[in-house]
Amino acid sequence: MALNVRVEEVHVVWMTAGLSCDGDSVSITAAMQPSIEDVLMGAIPGLPKVQLHNPVLAYEVGDSFLSWWYKAERGEIDPFVLVVEGSIPNEKIKKEGYWAALGNDPITDQPITTCEWIDRLAPKAWAVVAIGTCATYGGIHAMQGNPTGAMGLPDYLGWNWRSSAGLPIVCVPGCPVQPDNFMETLLYLLYQAAGLAPMIPLDEALRPTWLFGHTVHDGCDRGSSYEQGEFATEYGSPKCLVKLGCWGPVVQCNVPKRGWMAGIGGCPNVGGICIGCTMPGFPDKFMPFMDEPPGAKISSNAISVYGSVIRKLRKLTNTTLDKEPSWRHTRPELTTGYQP
Ligand code: SF4
Ligand code: SF4
Ligand code: SF4
């Protein structure tokens, strides 16, 4: 299907059959901008009708549920967006068995592996979206030395892969995904399918640029503590968490700004260190968790000196500003400087 052709109905075929905890499917039930209900019930102007086929959220089970997968494979539900959740264990390079599957082949009665489904459906999909860090970059299952050959979707299909409509793989990382980040991306793609939006802008890691263009640190409630050299040395402190292992200054994620649900939460805002879960290098490059990041020692020591001076000067100014001007009083003389 060509780009920007108006369509009346789009199917979303959602696989959680990778190495997945289903956490991303659960996460999106908390989305509000837009909510999954608003998208499915047609509450958003201009959107095509949307049919969702997600094993965690479906009423259908068994063969009836799987029939949508076969219809997608036969090209009977065109266009459809393929959403992949979970890391992809790759039997082609780890042949000891099969690692993840969905349904049984009706002829051989053998399980149909996750890789097999991706091979069958990705070439037919209008767009392919990887949800969560497992599906985008491999995540925890793809750590060095893992036994399954697990990897993210761009590693499996290729970073330059294009869908039948010419779209790159769209990656919305996070463990789990921030619910509104995913629903906003899906909404964008549905508008694009309806011919109402240009090509989705993605960064080099295939993330939507408007969602992942800033660091955790840029949006953190504790940023002023950092700037004034105030660092927590134990949990429970409202100060900056960098010495407890926060990687926020070098991690692209909007969670502290956006919150988790209804604008509330956001890892470091509420006392949790950022462990870089949206990043392609997660988790290997961020371990051991809870140790001060290597570069943080230099920057935090430098800022401690600058910050303590700035803090004292600001306290002085703050004390002055926190008092009323001296010319406001009940004495008989006029002291405002105004002379009639
Ligand atoms: Fe679960 Fe996190 Fe993997 Fe999503 S990215 S499937 S939430 S472990
Ligand atoms: Fe930056 Fe982390 Fe400190 Fe927040 S807690 S200001 S993200 S280093
Ligand atoms: Fe992950 Fe850090 Fe974003 Fe929290 S703030 S979701 S740990 S990248």
For residue 221 the two structure tokens come to 């409630």
Residue pointed to by tokens 């959602």: 14
Residue 177 Cβ contacting ligand 3 at under 6 Å? no
What order do you get walking across the sheet with 127-131 strand by strand? 49-53, 9-15, 80-85, 127-131, 170-172
- Residue 129 and residue 23 share a domain: yes
Residue pointed to by tokens 């504790």: 222
Instruction: Output the CA 133–ligand 1 centroid distance in Å.
Output: 6
Q: Which domain holds residue 39?
A: 9-211
- For residue 255, tell me if it sits in a domain: yes
Per the annotation, does 115 bind a ligand?
no
Confidence of residue 339 (pLDDT cuts 50, 70, 90): low
Provide the CATH number for the domain around residue 93. Answer: 3.40.50.700
**What is the tens place of the pLDDT at every residue in 44-79?**
998 999 999 999 999 999 999 999 999 999 999 999
Residue 3 predicted with pLDDT over 70: no
DSSP string of 187-229? HHHHHHHTT-S-SPPB-TTS-BHHHHSSBTGGG-TTHHHHHTT
Share of the chain above pLDDT 90, in %: 80
- For residue 171, tell me if it sits in a domain: yes
Provide the CATH number for the domain around residue 294. Answer: 4.10.480.10
63 CB-contact burial (10 Å; exposed 0-12 / middle 13-18 / buried 19+): exposed
- For residue 332, tell me if it sits in a domain: no
- Residue 221 and residue 104 share a domain: no
Q: Which residues of 317-330 are buried (b: 16+ CB within 10 A; e: fewer)?
A: eeeeeeeeeeeeee
Q: How far apart are CA 244 and CA 68, in angstroms?
A: 48
pTM above 0.90, yes or no: yes
Please give the number of the atom of ligand 3 that sits closest to the Cα of 267: 4
ipTM of the complex: 0.98
**What is the tens place of the pLDDT at every residue in 173-205?**
999 999 999 999 999 999 999 999 999 999 999
CA angle 270, 276, 282 (to 5 degrees): 145
Q: What is the dihedral of CA 274, 278, 279, 283, to 10 degrees?
A: 70
Q: How far apart are CA 190 and CA 49, in angstroms?
A: 9
Point out the ligand nearest to the CA of residue 242. Answer: 2
Instruction: Output the CA 324–ligand 1 centroid distance in Å.
Output: 54
- Residue 239 and residue 177 share a domain: no
**What is the tens place of the pLDDT at every residue in 95-129?**
787 889 999 998 999 999 999 999 999 999 999 99
Instruction: Output the CA 247–ligand 3 centroid distance in Å.
Output: 9
